[in-house]
Chain A
Amino acid sequence: DAGVTQSPTHLIKTRGQQVTLRCSPKSGHDTVSWYQQALGQGPQFIFQYYEEEERQRGNFPDRFSGHQFPNYSSELNVNALLLGDSALYLCASSPGRRGKETQYFGPGTRLLVL
């Protein structure tokens, strides 16, 4: 079992650019959540996907969007990048509609915006 995988591991972009981050959930998991972890902070919930639909969203602007594919993998897109978007982006997966209390996290993608 490969667990949750994310790509790329690191990324450098400039302000105004767009970025796409990718996540493959743990085998058997159909729910994917995305988090942003700024330096010195805890993970902040961005949104969650289930059955290819966004079903829950945190306090992030519309520049942050996502997608879930039929194989449950997911993408996070960020448009018009700002310096403040520099962070570690974490993907987490869990099974089931309601979900068990346990989420499994990937290693994250570290994004640097210059």
Chain B
Amino acid sequence: DQQVKQNSPSLSVQEGRISILNCDYTNSMFDYFLWYKKYPAEGPTFLISISSIKDKNEDGRFTVFLNKSAKHLSLHIVPSQPGDSAVYFCAARDVTSGTYKYIFGTGTRLKVLA
């Protein structure tokens, strides 16, 4: 049962344009959502997060939008740069058991073309 889904395994975008990465979830008890970026041979690096009580969080070129009614979040990167080429993971924090654990999607490989 995949509680966090990233349905697009890959995405190619021209440099300078907007990259939009999407994520869907099924569990209404998630209280935080995060995006991580992963380069080959490295661990995931935290990028940006959003609380379930917010609908938008912005940090420089990165903006995350949360639509709770649709159980959908998206990461916007504007403008996209070649250095943004990486695998992006969406993650959700599950606190239903009183402690917490993170559920990850399968990732979207972003390629920014120069």
Q: Please report A residues at the B interface, Cβ cutoff 8 Å.
A: 4, 33, 35, 40-45, 48, 50, 55-56, 58, 90, 92, 98-99, 101-108
Q: Does B46 lie within 8 Å of A102, measured CB to CB?
A: yes
Interchain CB contact under 8 A, B99 and A45: no
Q: Are A4 and B43 in contact (CB under 8 A)?
A: yes
Q: How far is the CA of A43 from the CA of B34 in the complex (A)?
A: 13
B residues with a Cβ closer than 8 A to A are 4, 6, 32, 34, 36, 41-46, 49, 51, 89, 91, 93, 97, 99-107
Are A106 and B43 also in contact (CB < 8 A) when A42-B107, A101-B32, A101-B49 are?
yes
Residues in A neighbouring B102, C-beta threshold 8 A: 33, 43, 45, 92, 103
Contact A45 B101 (CB under 8 A): yes
CB neighbours (8 Å) of A108 from chain B are 42-43
Say whether B99 contacts A104, CB under 8 Å: no
**B97 lies within 8 A of A42 (CB):** no
B41 touches A107 (CB 8 A): yes
Shortest A112–chain B CB gap in Å is: 15
Q: Which residue of A lies closest to B93 (CB)?
A: A101
Q: Is the CB of A107 within 8 A of B42?
A: yes
- Give A86 to B95 CA distance when docked, in angstroms: 29
A-B contact pairs, 8 of them (CB 8 A): A35-B104, A42-B105, A43-B44, A43-B89, A55-B99, A56-B97, A106-B43, A107-B43
